[in-house]
Amino acid sequence: MARKTHIKKYTAEELEEKTRHGESLSDWNRAMALTEEELEAAIKSDPDEADLDFDWSKVTIDPPQPKEVLNMRIDKDVLDYFKKTGRGYQTRINAVLRGYVDQKRKHA
């Protein structure tokens, strides 16, 4: 028996169009009005963020290891940020993920 799902899929263009027509469920004005302290408190109270509280300043970049080919979806603004850093942006994305995995392993 197939499981019912409530997930709806939209293209980036469809989402932009919905936002232009005021169909976004996000209250961006309220979010932009938050102080830094309120934002930090909101993040800490979000159960989806619970495992992400660690010190990124201690992340290191290790020598390259054999890589696997991966096709994944990533937020456009995140990808744009890494691409703007120039050549080797995929290596930097991998380094961020490596730092996350290493921190999780240390705390496990």
Q: pTM for the full model?
A: 0.41
**Which amino acid, 64?**
P
Does the structure show a pLDDT above 90 at 79? yes
Q: Looking at the structure, tell me whether residues 93 and 106 fall in a common domain.
A: yes
3 lies in a domain? Answer: no
Q: What is the pLDDT of residues 15-43, one digit of tens each?
A: 888 888 878 777 778 888 999 999 888 88
d(CA 26, CA 8): 16
d(CA 50, CA 73): 23
6 lies in a domain? Answer: no
Please tell me the total count of domains within the chain: 2
Q: Looking at the structure, tell me whether residues 71 and 106 fall in a common domain.
A: yes
Q: What is the pLDDT of residues 43-55, one digit of tens each?
A: 888 887 777 767 7
Q: Range of 64's domain?
A: 54-108
DSSP output for 66-106: ----------HHHHHHHHHT-TTHHHHHHHHHHHHHHHHHH
5 lies in a domain? Answer: no
